[in-house]
Structure 1
Amino acid sequence: MCNCNVTETVIDVRQIMPRMRHPLIFNTFDQLAPGEAFLLVNDHDPRPLFYQFNVQRPGAFGWDYQEEGPELWRVRISRAA
Structure 2
Amino acid sequence: MPEIFRMFGMKFFFYSLEHLPIHIHVRNADGTAKFEINPVKLVESHGIKTKDLVLAEALVEENKELITKKWQQFHG
TM-score (norm: length of structure 2): 0.29
TM-score (norm: length of structure 1): 0.28
Structure with the bigger RCO (C-alpha within 8 Å, sep 6+) is 1
